[in-house]
Amino acid sequence: MPLLVCNCFMPSLEVRRWNEIIKKHMLVGNAEQAVLTYVNMQVHGFRADNYTFPILLKAAGKNCASRIGFAFHGQTIKTGFYRHIFVQTALINMYGTLHCTADACKMFENMPVKDLVAWNSMLDAYASNGEMEDAISLFHMMPLKDLSSFNILISGYSSCGEVLAARSIFDKMAIKDIVSWNSILSACTRAGDMEKAFALFQEMPMKNTISWNTMLAGCLQRGQFSEAVDLFDEMKTTNCLPDYLTATSVLSACAHLGSLETGIKIHVYAIYSGLASSPHVTTALMDMYAKCGSIEQALQIFFKAQVKDIYCWNAIISGLALHGHGYAALKLFGYMKKKHERPDDITFIGLLNACSHSGLVEEGCRLFDSMLNFGISPKLEHYGCLVDLLGRAGHLDCAFHVIEAMPFEPGESILGALLSSCIIHQDLETGERVIKLVSSTAPYISDGELMMFANLYASCGYWEEANRWREMMNNTGIVKTAGFSEIELNGRFHKFLAGK
């Protein structure tokens, strides 16, 4: 008899063990392995319970796999576990993550009992998908609200760029936690209002790593690179530990500033803090060294890296392109293919730029034509690289034909690149065709374009026409954007504006 009792409980204990394995995979972000473990669990003759399904439904949402999600939903109905409130709430969360808010709403409406977690899950489904009218309507219907309810709304408005609406909710909150502050901080940085963001940041009663990373991301977005470096230095004096996102952000700021000295200091910090082993930081280090003029150091980091993902390959190829090492970039691409690393559209942008900077016209054209072999359709950026490649090499007529034949409207950067090549090669005929194209497609002509028109005629000796374009610029009140330079002195960055 005791043996029989023991056997009855064995499946429950085994299912619990399977659940723990599935949950561990989810904790490390491996949703695909979580689903595969569940499949393996069934092969071994064990069935899911009301604890298994919430984890699986979360995995389906993480994988953005609607078909798997629908299958799991069907299994919850078949097994009867869909009646459990935890499973029902997990279904709402899954459908919200999969952008199926109508299905989430059906699930929510059919729930016989709705607790606060269920209400918040439905609120989050609307808010995370930008359906803020439905979100605020549901918010007012809620019989009970908690801190999470307010935070969900602020986050939703933040994602939609509605700073005033987010601030209105934030100001009405009697109690605010770190999530509330971070959400409103994110709303300001996303909208580019760094003045308000810095004011809020100073007001915060408590900051965590997310707070600092939000500010760093905002500085990068607004081009405030020296401010980002200052923030990082300030962060190190607090009890908030920088993570891999912090390191990648500040290294990106150094790359834009061209500050090798500061970049090296951050590299040393990353090594001692254990952040340098992160693939994200490795990629950011290569990018920083390449943009700060030390391609040798970038290559050293690349070859020493234990894990080389596609971002790592793209960073080093782009770095070689920047330094005019076209053949080296192509050789590395061959090595990449031998390693069975599949290139993406960014890889080809780097390769085409490498060919452009090294005058490798035939190789660049072959690469462009080979993109479809890798299942990559050329985008506007790839056509821009091809136009730049042909233009730099003096094949201006061919470059103009590429613009006419491509399935996209040529942007300002593509036409500007070709016009610049026309000035260098003193090709007035193609240059005038580009001017006509700019004049017919652009909603307005910028100061930079007017200057390039004038420079084209000046380079070909047509001074009267060049003066006519300059006078047109003066008469319309367009002022040429002032250039600036930035220098680093004793670890501080100083900006100098032309004419000031």
pLDDT bracket for residue 6 (50, 70, 90): very low
**Cα–Cα distance for residue pair 378/71, rounded to 1 Å:** 36
Q: What is the pLDDT of residues 19-53, one digit of tens each?
A: 788 788 777 777 777 778 777 777 777 787 777 87
User: Per this entry, what is the length of the chain?
Assistant: 500
**Cα–Cα distance for residue pair 45/11, rounded to 1 Å:** 9
Please check the confidence at residue 326 and state whether its pLDDT lies above 60: yes
**Cα–Cα distance for residue pair 188/197, rounded to 1 Å:** 5
pLDDT of res. 123: 96
Which stretch, 17-26, 85-94, 139-148, has highest mean pLDDT? Answer: 139-148
pLDDT bracket for residue 365 (50, 70, 90): very high
- For residues 389 and 477, the model is more confident at 389
pLDDT of res. 430: 85
Please check the confidence at residue 332 and state whether its pLDDT lies above 90: yes
Q: What is the pLDDT of residues 218-276, one digit of tens each?
A: 999 999 999 999 999 999 999 999 999 999 999 999 999 999 999 999 999 999 999 99
pLDDT of res. 143: 94
Query: Would you list the domain boundaries of the chain?
Result: 207-279, 378-499
Q: What is the pLDDT of residues 442-455, one digit of tens each?
A: 666 666 777 878 88
**Cα–Cα distance for residue pair 300/284, rounded to 1 Å:** 14
Q: Is 292 in contact with 263 (CB distance < 8 Å)?
A: yes
The pair of structure tokens assigned to 325 is 């090492």
pLDDT of res. 487: 61
DSSP category for residue 306 = S
Angle between helical axes of 345-358 and 361-370 (0-180°, round to 10): 170
- For residues 411 and 337, the model is more confident at 337
- Element of type H or E holding 352: helix 345-358
| 3-class DSSP state of 226 | helix
- For residues 27 and 362, the model is more confident at 362
Q: What is the pLDDT of residues 410-444, one digit of tens each?
A: 888 888 888 888 888 888 888 888 888 877 776 66
The pair of structure tokens assigned to 61 is 């949402």
pLDDT bracket for residue 62 (50, 70, 90): confident
Q: Give 292's Cβ-side CA count (13 Å radius).
A: 24
Q: What is the pLDDT of residues 73-91, one digit of tens each?
A: 887 888 887 788 888 898 8
pLDDT of res. 495: 63
| 3-class DSSP state of 440 | helix
**Cα–Cα distance for residue pair 476/317, rounded to 1 Å:** 44
Q: Is 72 in contact with 59 (CB distance < 8 Å)?
A: no
Q: Is 98 in contact with 64 (CB distance < 8 Å)?
A: yes
The residues, ordered by sequence, that sit 6+ positions from 76 with a Cβ below 8 Å of its Cβ are: 53, 82, 87, 91
pLDDT of res. 477: 54
pLDDT of res. 11: 43
Q: Is 341 in contact with 374 (CB distance < 8 Å)?
A: no
pLDDT of res. 488: 59
For residues 380-409, b (16+ Cβ closer than 10 Å) or e, as one string?
Answer: ebbbbbbbbbbbbbebbebbbebbeebeee
Please check the confidence at residue 151 and state whether its pLDDT lies above 90: yes
Q: Is 285 in contact with 251 (CB distance < 8 Å)?
A: yes
In percent, the amount of the chain with pLDDT more than 90 equals 58
**Cα–Cα distance for residue pair 432/438, rounded to 1 Å:** 10
- Element of type H or E holding 148: helix 147-159
Q: Give 146's Cβ-side CA count (13 Å radius).
A: 9
Overall pTM > 0.85: no
Quick one: CA dihedral 10, 15, 20, 21, positive or negative?
positive
Please check the confidence at residue 98 and state whether its pLDDT lies above 50: yes
DSSP category for residue 360 = -
Across 78-82, 297-301, 323-327, least confident range: 78-82
Burial class of residue 152 in the structure, from the number of CB atoms within 10 Å of its CB (0-12 exposed, 13-18 middle, 19+ buried): buried
From the CB of residue 463, how many other CB atoms can be counted at a distance below 10 Å? Answer: 11
CA 451 to chain centre: 34
Please check the confidence at residue 291 and state whether its pLDDT lies above 70: yes
Q: What is the pLDDT of residues 373-383, one digit of tens each?
A: 999 999 999 99
pLDDT of res. 296: 96
**Cα–Cα distance for residue pair 149/120, rounded to 1 Å:** 6
Q: What are phi and psi of 322, to 5 degrees?
A: -60, -35
Q: What are phi and psi of 210, to 5 degrees?
A: -60, -40
pLDDT bracket for residue 1 (50, 70, 90): very low
**Cα–Cα distance for residue pair 301/8, rounded to 1 Å:** 57
The residues, ordered by sequence, that sit 6+ positions from 28 with a Cβ below 8 Å of its Cβ are: none
**Cα–Cα distance for residue pair 373/379, rounded to 1 Å:** 15
Please check the confidence at residue 472 and state whether its pLDDT lies above 80: no
Average pLDDT of every residue of the chain: 87
pLDDT of res. 481: 56
| 3-class DSSP state of 180 | helix
Picking from 128, 126, 117, 122, the residue whose alpha carbon sits closest to that of residue 107 is 122
pLDDT of res. 46: 77
Q: Give 273's Cβ-side CA count (13 Å radius).
A: 18
pLDDT of res. 75: 79
DSSP category for residue 277 = T
In percent, the amount of the chain with pLDDT more than 70 equals 90
pLDDT bracket for residue 482 (50, 70, 90): low
- For residues 307 and 350, the model is more confident at 350
- For residues 33 and 198, the model is more confident at 198
- For residues 82 and 123, the model is more confident at 123
Picking from 98, 127, 95, 132, the residue whose alpha carbon sits closest to that of residue 111 is 95
